[in-house]
């Protein structure tokens, strides 16, 4: 068994693209445990890095420390599941597709790391758990402005809101003004 720690540069597309990811080239700290087993090498480890993204509610930039654990078996190319030398081509080709192999004594950890980091990242990152997002009327960030509200909807905006409701409901043909817009507005506000 062998333990090793080493820093690497984050590869491309390391995270959830456009949501939160570890920027390409950013430092990733790897702790690995390599165990020699019958059929290959069992790799267990943790990758630590800083991810960057933005809050899904208020779009504020955010940073997140991520620690992703992983474990993967890398098989000797000429060994079957039980470590015996392979005598004929396997007919269980489907099973083989999921297996990872050592090549010339090396293994490619990148896809393993990528999967682990993606799993460790939140799909819906928020700047803080109770982030209230943005005001739907003026776009101000609500956590910055406690008690923020609008007393009355401006009559000119009200007309636009009715229109937006009609379009969302797929009633583009009924924009003549006779659409029952008040019903649509009520529906929207309940959500």
Among residues 28, 117, 127, 179, the one that binds Zn ion under rule CB under 5 A: 127
Residue 179 found at the interface with Zn ion (CB under 5 A): no
Residue 131 found at the interface with Zn ion (CB under 5 A): yes
Residue 114 found at the interface with Zn ion (CB under 5 A): no
- Which CB sits closer to Zn ion, 22 or 127? 127
Residue 138 found at the interface with Zn ion (CB under 5 A): yes
Please give, one letter per residue, the 3-state secondary structure of the chain: CEEEEEEEECCCCEEECCCEEECCCCEEEEEEEEEEECCEEEEEEEEEEEEEEECCCCCCEEEEEEEEEEEEEEECCCECCCCCECCCCCCCHHHHHCCEECECCECCCHHHHHHHHHHHCCCCCCCCCCCCCECCCCCCEHHHCCCCCCCCCCHHHHHHHHHHHHHHCCCHHHCCCCCCHHHHHHHHHHC
Residue 181 found at the interface with Zn ion (CB under 5 A): no
Stretch that binds Zn ion, among 34-42, 48-56, 75-83, 109-117 (CB under 5 A): 48-56
- Which CB sits closer to Zn ion, 63 or 83? 63
């Amino acid at each position: 068994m062998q333990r090793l720690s080493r820093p690497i540069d984050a590869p491309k597309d390391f995270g959830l693209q456009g949501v939160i990811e570890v920027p390409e080239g950013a430092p990733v700290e790897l702790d690995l445990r390599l165990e020699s087993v019958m059929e290959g090498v069992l790799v267990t480890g943790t990758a630590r890095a800083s991810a960057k993204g933005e809050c899904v509610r208020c779009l504020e930039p955010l940073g997140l420390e991520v620690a992703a654990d992983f474990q993967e078996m890398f098989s000797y190319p000429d060994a079957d599941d039980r470590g015996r030398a392979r005598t004929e081509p396997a007919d269980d080709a489907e099973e083989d597709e999921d297996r990872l192999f050592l090549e010339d004594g090396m293994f490619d950890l990148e896809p393993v790391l990528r999967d682990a980091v993606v799993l460790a990242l939140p799909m819906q990152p928020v700047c803080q758990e109770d982030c209230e997002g943005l005001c739907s009327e003026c776009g101000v960030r609500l956590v910055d402005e406690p008690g923020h509200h609008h007393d009355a909807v401006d009559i000119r905006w009200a007309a636009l809101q009715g229109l937006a409701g009609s379009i969302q409901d797929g009633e583009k043909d009924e924009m003549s003004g006779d659409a029952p817009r008040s019903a649509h507005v009520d529906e929207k506000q309940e959500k």
